[in-house]
């Protein structure tokens, strides 16, 4: 579905780190990776982490969010975007997404704000971008924090600004399926020096950076990335422009073959956005009598892997018995997206002929399911 692109350079740097990243040099590869990531995002600070989930968790903790507080986020996203809200004892407030970008609806965010609201989490879903100007205006007007979950959007831009630079704090994922990978891994980025310092302390069991006496002054977390992972990240960042160019070319192959299929929606790229197209996604409309799981099964029978569009968090059993506040009036379009959307193969190494086969197979399946 989303295999990474790994070259000899990644192997060489990982081996070098395994042999040398000890003692006084233990953080050299992490530091270099963080510097490269911060420079790409145009921010002052980056912190390498074991995964993006830890980044959201640390962001919430550093912002002082806790029991009784509310955090607004999209109802349609991967659970990792909002699960840390529950870790903190706060209340996740799920609101609707926009039908074109599949990102947080600013109007729904505004309607969900209460005196208990302390933060908004905007998710740059599948490489798409939130309406960050609108979310920033809402956050500033209400005096609440703005968190950018850019886990899936490294390389995307909004109004010329890179993903990761739009919130008070942002997080990335470097899971094996992501645009760049460290195997597992993530990062937190920010321009706020106080928030950065707080994160550095919280991610190392509540002790200040540089402490050598093990005199912790609070109970916190252990969220660090290994040097070998960071070395992989350095090699991947060296190739980032080429990797993004491939993702965009891959999407172009799909778009050329699918744009005229009746009732089929693919990833959006509004004028103000450059989409890195982490995943190529299709949404068949109601004329096709099948849901996402049936479509996946039909594709699998022809040797094509896929994955379902994320389900609504408020519909998951995971949230059935938790303190959360679901959206009130989701759009009909949102229900259709969740019901029928799938991600098509989007990994590095796919060629144009393979994409043609995938698209022709998809068209045949859809034609066979079209209601007459």
Report the catalytic residues.
Answer: 178
Look at residues 281, 270, 274 and name the one whose alpha carbon lies nearest to residue 241.
274
Q: How many CB atoms lie within 10 A of CB 289?
A: 12
Q: Which of 241, 213, 286 is nearest to 5 (CA)?
A: 241
Number of Cβ within a 10 Å radius of residue 288: 20
Strand 264-266, strand 161-162: pairing: unpaired
CA–CA dist 85, 53 (Å, integer)? 10
Torsions phi, psi for 92 (to 5 deg):
-75, 135
Q: What is the DSSP letter of 311?
A: P
Q: Which residues pair with 79 in a beta bridge?
A: none
Q: What interhelical angle do 352-369 and 292-300 show, nearest 10?
A: 130
Residues 6+ apart with CB under 8 A from 271: none
CA distance 166 to 173: 16
């Amino acid at each position: 579905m989303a295999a990474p692109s790994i070259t000899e350079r990644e192997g060489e740097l990982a081996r070098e780190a395994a042999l040398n990243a000890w003692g006084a040099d233990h953080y050299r590869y992490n530091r270099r990776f963080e510097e490269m990531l911060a420079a790409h995002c145009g921010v002052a600070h980056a912190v390498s982490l074991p995964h993006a989930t830890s980044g959201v968790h640390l962001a919430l903790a550093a912002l002082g969010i806790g029991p009784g507080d509310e955090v607004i986020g999209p109802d349609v996203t991967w659970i990792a975007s909002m699960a840390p809200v529950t870790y903190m004892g706060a209340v996740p407030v799920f609101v609707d997404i926009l039908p074109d970008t599949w990102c947080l609806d600013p109007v729904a965010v505004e309607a969900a704000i209460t005196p208990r609201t302390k933060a908004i989490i905007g998710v740059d879903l599948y490489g798409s971008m939130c309406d960050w100007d609108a979310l920033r205006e809402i956050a500033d007007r209400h005096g609440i924090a703005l968190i950018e979950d850019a886990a899936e959007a490294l390389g995307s831009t909004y109004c010329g600004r890179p993903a990761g630079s739009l919130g008070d704090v942002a997080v990335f994922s470097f899971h094996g399926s992501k645009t760049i990978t460290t195997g597992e891994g993530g990062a937190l980025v920010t321009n706020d020096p106080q928030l950065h310092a707080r994160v550095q302390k919280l991610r190392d069991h509540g002790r200040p950076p540089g402490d050598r006496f093990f005199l912790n002054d609070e109970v916190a977390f252990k969220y660090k990335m290994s040097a070998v992972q960071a070395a992989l990240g350095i090699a991947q960042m060296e190739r980032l422009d080429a990797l993004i160019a491939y993702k965009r070319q891959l999407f172009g192959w799909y778009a050329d073959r699918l744009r005229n299929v009746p009732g089929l929606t693919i990833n959006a790229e509004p004028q103000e956005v450059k989409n890195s197209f982490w995943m190529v996604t299709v949404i068949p409309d109601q004329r096709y009598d099948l849901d996402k799981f049936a479509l996946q099964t039909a594709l699998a029978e022809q040797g094509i892997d896929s994955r379902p569009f994320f389900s609504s968090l408020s519909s998951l059993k995971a949230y059935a018995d938790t303190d959360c506040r679901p959206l009130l009036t989701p759009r009909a379009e949102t229900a259709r997206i969740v019901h029928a959307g799938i991600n098509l193969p989007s990994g590095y190494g796919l060629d144009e002929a393979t994409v043609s086969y995938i698209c022709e197979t998809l068209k045949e399946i859809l034609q066979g399911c079209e209601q007459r």
